[in-house]
Amino acid sequence: MQLRVHPDGTIHSLYQDELDLTPLGAVCIRRGSRVEPTPDARWEADLAPVNGPKLGPFDHRTEALAAEQAWLETFWLPAVMQI
């Protein structure tokens, strides 16, 4: 799990159940994307909530989830460092 800590103490990360962030302070969780089935029973990751692309289609939901995480870690987390 990657945590981006800003000079003002704000932390950005992708939510994962493995680490409880509440001891660090108030937590605000927002959706970064939507992984949804397509009409032909495939999967897409729509990153519009963070001004990103639509990824896919993928044959399996796990592939869409992995692509979603990889995109967010590569493009969204480094971008929030510049807030």
Domain locations in the chain?
A: 3-80
Cα separation of 16 and 54, whole Å?
22
**pTM score:** 0.80
Give tens-digit pLDDT for 4-55. Answer: 888 888 888 888 888 898 998 899 888 889 999 999 999 999 999 999 999 9
pLDDT at 80: 67
Cα separation of 33 and 51, whole Å?
9
Cα separation of 34 and 44, whole Å?
8
| 83 has pLDDT over 70 | no
